[in-house]
Amino acid sequence: MKITNLIIVAFLLVFLSSCCNNDDGNPVNQQIEGKWHLVQVSGGFVGINHVYEPGTISWEFNPSTNKLKVINTNTDDNMQDIFDTGTYDYGFQLNTATPEICPENILLNSIDYGCYTISSNNLIISQVETDGFLIKLIRF
C-alpha cells in the first residue's frame, strides 16, 4: 500500500511540475530567435505575389527584448514588403477566434498578423483566413 501511495505522489509531482506555464522557456517562441530573410509576400484583396531575393529584406527577432529589427533595402514602392527599416515590438497572443487553425497568433508592431508556423528553416505568417497576406521568411 505504501508503494502505491508513493507512486501516486511521485506521479502527481511530475505532473504538477510539468504544468507550470513559463514563457521564458517556451520552445516555439524561442525558435523565432535570429535572422530571417523575407522572400515572399502574397495574397491580400488583390492577390499580390511579390518575391524577394534573400538579403533584400532581413528580419531579426530578439526574444530577450521582444524586438524585431528590420533592414529593408527594397527600392520598389509598388512591392508590398510589410515593414520599412526600423525596430518594432513583437509578441504572441492566444488565437481565440480560430484556435482550431492555430493556437497562437503573432503580433508585429502591436498588430495581429495572424497564425504563424516555424518549420525547419521556414517561418510562415498567415492572414489568409481574413483575406490578408501570407508572409514567407527563410532562416538567415
Mean per-residue pLDDT pooled into runs of 10, the chain (140 residues)? 43 38 49 96 93 98 97 97 98 92 95 94 91 93
pLDDT at residue number 24: 44
Establish if 33 belongs to a structural domain: yes
pLDDT at residue number 22: 38
Total domains present in the chain: 1
pLDDT at residue number 32: 96
pLDDT at residue number 134: 96
Establish if 132 belongs to a structural domain: yes
Establish if 66 belongs to a structural domain: yes
The whole-model pTM stands at 0.78
Structural domain of 130: 27-139
Establish if 2 belongs to a structural domain: no
pLDDT at residue number 29: 64
Output the CA angle 125-84-48, nearest 5 degrees. 50
Establish if 1 belongs to a structural domain: no
C-alpha cell of residue 78: 509598388
Cα distances (Å, whole numbers) of residue 4 to 8, 28, 30, 110: 6, 37, 39, 51
Establish if 19 belongs to a structural domain: no
Answer yes or no: are the C-beta atoms of 58 and 35 closer than 8 Å.
yes
- How many alpha carbons lie under 13 Å from residue 4 in its C-beta half-sphere? 1
